[in-house]
Amino acid sequence: MFIFRTNSLCGLVLLFSMASNVMSDFEGEVVVTWLKNGDYPDREMKLVQSFSYVDSTGRPWVVPIGAVIDGASIPAFFWNTIGPPFVGNYRRASVVHDYYCNVKTQPWKRVHRMFYEASVVGGVPIPKAKIMYAAVYAKGPRWPTPGVLGARVQPTPDITDDELTSLSNWIESTVPSLNMIEDRLQQY
């Protein structure tokens, strides 16, 4: 009886540890066509094939064929710090982030956290990825929670460029948790 319970317990522990070790990764390649948009900079692109990111919970974030992206979900103030759209190790994460910021089918906080996780998976060092997370949390798009009647948009922090620079320095020196970054931004 004792052996059966011990084996059962070991089996459950193994099952739960396997379930929590879902490997997050990108699936497919980003294949796009540049779009001409009159007098505006040629920054808009249309996906020629679907592309996705599977997060650490196993949830797929699918960007379908035909989706239009432009890198605008990354606040321009941070382009000097983290790089412009479509450059560097966060570019695949930015494709998924742009799409979900446009379609707004998931809560904005979840989309921004997915961007952080996908950036790290893409090769961005954790301190830089946390600065990028702070950027999209502070100045990125927000929208009412989908499917929640009467949901309101949480106001964007009223934070100056100098305060953002100070925040970036704090993140780089302390590498706080995402919750700590959010708490600090709520002070503005």
Identify whether the C-beta of residue 26 lies closer than 8 Å to the C-beta of residue 121: yes
Residue 153 lies in a domain: yes
What would you report as the CA-atom Rg of the chain, rounded to the nearest whole angstrom?
Answer: 19
Inside any domain, residue 104: yes
Residue 13 is predicted with a pLDDT of 41
Q: What pLDDT, on the 0 to 100 scale, is given for residue 133?
A: 96
Q: What does the pLDDT look like over 91-136, one tens digit per residue?
A: 999 999 999 999 999 999 999 999 999 999 999 999 999 999 999 9
Q: Look-up: residue for tokens 């990764």? A: 25
Is residue 135, in this structure, part of any structural domain at all?
yes
Residue 3 falls within a domain, yes or no?
A: no
Tell me what pLDDT residue 81 has: 75
Give the span between the Cα atoms of 106 and 150, in whole angstroms: 16
Output the tens digit of pLDDT for each of the chain's 188 residues. 545 444 444 444 444 444 456 789 999 999 999 988 766 667 889 999 999 999 999 999 999 999 999 888 788 777 777 778 788 899 999 999 999 999 999 999 999 999 999 999 999 999 999 999 999 999 999 999 988 888 888 888 888 889 988 999 999 999 999 999 999 998 88
Range(s) of the domain holding residue 175: 20-185
| Residue at 5 is within a domain | no
In this structure, is residue 13 part of a structural domain? no
Total domain count, the chain:
1
Residue 38's pLDDT is: 66
Query: And the tokens for 5?
Result: 């319970």
Please tell me the number of Cα atoms within 13 Å of 148 on its side-chain side. 11
Residue 57 covered by a domain: yes
Does some domain include residue 15?
A: no
Average pLDDT, the chain: 86
User: How does DSSP assign 135-171, residue by residue?
Assistant: HHHHHS---PPTT-TT--PPPPP---HHHHHHHHHHH
| SS3 at position 1 | coil
- d(CA 42, CA 180) in angstroms, rounded, equals 37
pLDDT at 161: 85
Residue spans of alpha helices (H) in 47-107 = 79-82, 91-103
Would you state the pLDDT for residue 29?
96
In whole angstroms, give the CA distance from residue 136 to residue 111: 10
